[in-house]
Amino acid sequence: MKNKILLILITMLISCSGGKQHLLDEIKEKEAIVTKSYEDIFDKSTAESLRKDYLNFADEYPNDSLSPKYLHKAAELALAIDMSKEAISTLDTLIKRYPDYKYLPDAIFFKGFIQENHLKDFAAAEKTYKDFLKRFPNHELAAQVVVIIENIGKSPDEMVKEFMERTNQKDSLLSDSVK
């Protein structure tokens, strides 16, 4: 009886690890296809399939060190295939599940970037950027985030005008066109 239970446990372990390895092999194969497709014609269907594999891996193996990386990659792929809301959702999962993820500052910054530039949700982007500064005030991107917050939602013309007003200078382009 003990031998039978031991055999069942060993079989389960082998099948579980085989499933994980199979998924890792599929991911590696699809990554190669998607990477190559960036050089030629982007393979959107393989990219979507790879994105789903990344998500499946992170759900099935949440304690694996690859899971937060795969969620990050899934968000990047979602953006590449015009799935901005899915990218945000994936980043939210990453931020919530893996608060100690090495690249968490980059993930939060990326979330704000998508909200600002792809979804045009300036209020949400500002909130995300402020969260970034609260969590990582000394990060190398912090100074850039401060500037982004100051200018969020402004057109380039508005930013130039404000800059010129702050420095008490005339707009050289404007003065050239007046001549």
Say yes or no: 94 and 113 in one domain: no
Q: Whole-angstrom Cα distance, residue 68 to residue 11?
A: 28
**77 within 8 A of 47, measured Cβ to Cβ:** yes
Is position 5 within any domain? no
Say yes or no: 45 and 88 in one domain: yes
68 to each of 55, 74, 94, 129, how far by Cα in Å? 10, 10, 6, 21
pTM: 0.76
* pLDDT band, very low/low/confident/very high, at 159 (cuts 50, 70, 90): confident
Q: What was the pLDDT predicted at 5?
A: 43
Domain around 87 = 25-102
Instruction: Kindly state the tokens that stand for 146.
Output: 């401060």
Say yes or no: 61 and 111 in one domain: no
Q: What was the pLDDT predicted at 1?
A: 46
- DSSP 8-state secondary structure symbol assigned to residue 44: H
Percent of the chain topping pLDDT 90 = 61
Q: How many domains does the chain have?
A: 2
**47 within 8 A of 70, measured Cβ to Cβ:** no
Boundary-marking domain end, from 87, 102, 117: 102
Say yes or no: 71 and 48 in one domain: yes
Say yes or no: 62 and 126 in one domain: no
The larger pLDDT score, comparing residue 177 to residue 77, is at 77
Boundary-marking domain end, from 72, 102, 132: 102
Please say if the pLDDT value at position 93 is more than 90: yes
Q: What was the pLDDT predicted at 10?
A: 42
Is position 75 within any domain? yes
Say yes or no: 111 and 56 in one domain: no
Q: How far is CA 138 from the centre of its chain?
A: 21
Say yes or no: 91 and 75 in one domain: yes
53 to each of 20, 30, 46, 95, 116, how far by Cα in Å? 11, 9, 10, 19, 27
Say yes or no: 113 and 147 in one domain: yes
Is position 10 within any domain? no
Is position 90 within any domain? yes
Q: Render pLDDT for 10-45 as a digit per residue (tens, 0 to 9).
A: 444 444 446 899 899 898 888 888 888 777 788 899
At a CB cut-off of 8 Å and minimum separation 6, what does 62 contact? 97
Is position 54 within any domain? yes
SS3 20: helix
Boundary-marking domain end, from 102, 125, 156: 102
